[in-house]
């Protein structure tokens, strides 16, 4: 996680005024900014969607005073991050795996996760783009990593990120391990092929 997240993170405090938040997003070309307290813990997030409520509700006094959409009305009236922010925030631990992060991004259907230390302090931010950049690894680099990691006797070719395994090993467990190892490496799009084995130490009863 630490190797792929973006750090340091641009953040604001609960007291940061509306226009300063807009200016921050524009200056750093970001679409959202975390809100942190005095201890550096994430308390919320302000996104472009939160900010645009003020312009959206400019349609008239009746819209501003409506009680049918209290959250939108509150954000339209808000002047500071504390009133604008969405809370709680979806976070992930700094020591979690990138696979965990990708799964959480998908389940929550969010663009980014704020990465926090064990005590809740903001450590970084991980976006969908950060995760996708893991696939920007050349086939040659992937092949080298595969061959260094798999058991001796396994061969590998790589095309467009797809690893094709071959070769022969002493035990079936080694063949299975080779597939799992290849899948776990950064940049791998898929794993194909088969590794032959001599002894079946996984299910010895099978002839």
pLDDT score for 65:
52
pLDDT score for 13:
98
Residues 36-78: tens digit of each pLDDT: 999 999 999 999 999 988 776 665 555 555 555 556 666 777 7
| Residue 207: pLDDT band with limits 50, 70, 90 | very low
Residue that has been written with the tokens 């020591």 in this structure: 95
3-class DSSP state of 102: helix
Residues 99-131: tens digit of each pLDDT: 899 999 999 999 999 999 999 999 999 999 999
Among the ranges given (22-26, 65-69, 94-98, 101-105), the one the predictor scored with the smallest mean pLDDT: 65-69
Give CA separation, 5 vs 19, 120, 140, 185, in Å.
28, 16, 25, 18
Residues 152-172: tens digit of each pLDDT: 999 999 999 999 999 999 999
CA distance 178 to 173: 9
CA distance 124 to 182: 28
3-class DSSP state of 108: helix
Q: Kindly state which CATH superfamily the domain 18-134 is placed in.
A: CBS-domain (3.10.580.10)
Domains 18-134 and 139-199 share a fold: no
List the strands of the sheet with 122-127, edge to edge. Answer: 91-93, 112-116, 122-127
User: Once rounded to an integer, what is the mean pLDDT over residues 191-204?
Assistant: 92
Are 177 and 161 in contact, with CB atoms under 8 Å apart? no
Q: Which CATH architecture has domain 139-199?
A: 2-Layer Sandwich (3.30)
Q: Which of 94, 102, 118 is nearest to 9 (CA)?
A: 94
pLDDT score for 75:
73
pLDDT score for 55:
75
Are 125 and 91 in contact, with CB atoms under 8 Å apart? no
User: Once rounded to an integer, what is the mean pLDDT over residues 82-89?
Assistant: 93
CA distance 194 to 197: 10
Give the domain ranges of the chain: 18-134, 139-199
Question: Could you give the percent of the chain with pLDDT greater than 70?
Answer: 89
Q: Is the peptide bond before 88 cis (omega within 30 degrees of 0)?
A: yes
């Amino acid at each position: 996680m630490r190797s792929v997240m973006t750090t340091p993170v641009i953040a604001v405090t609960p007291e940061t005024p509306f226009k300063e938040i807009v200016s921050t997003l524009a200056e750093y070309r970001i679409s959202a900014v975390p809100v942190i307290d005095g201890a550096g813990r994430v308390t919320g997030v302000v996104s472009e969607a939160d900010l645009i409520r003020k312009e959206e509700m400019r349609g008239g006094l009746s819209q501003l005073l409506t009680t049918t959409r209290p959250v939108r009305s509150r954000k339209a009236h808000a002047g500071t991050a504390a009133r604008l922010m969405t809370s709680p925030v979806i976070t992930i631990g700094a020591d979690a795996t990138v696979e965990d992060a990708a799964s959480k991004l998908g389940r929550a259907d969010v663009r980014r996760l704020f990465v926090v230390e064990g005590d809740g302090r903001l450590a970084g931010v991980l976006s969908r783009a950060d995760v996708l950049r893991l696939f920007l690894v050349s086939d040659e680099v992937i092949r080298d990593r595969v061959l260094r990691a798999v058991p001796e006797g396994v061969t590998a070719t790589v095309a467009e990120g797809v690893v094709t395994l071959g070769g022969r090993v002493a035990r079936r467990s080694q063949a299975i391990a080779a597939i799992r190892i290849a899948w776990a490496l950064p940049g791998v799009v898929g794993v194909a092929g088969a590794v032959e084995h001599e002894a079946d130490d996984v299910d010895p009863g099978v002839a």
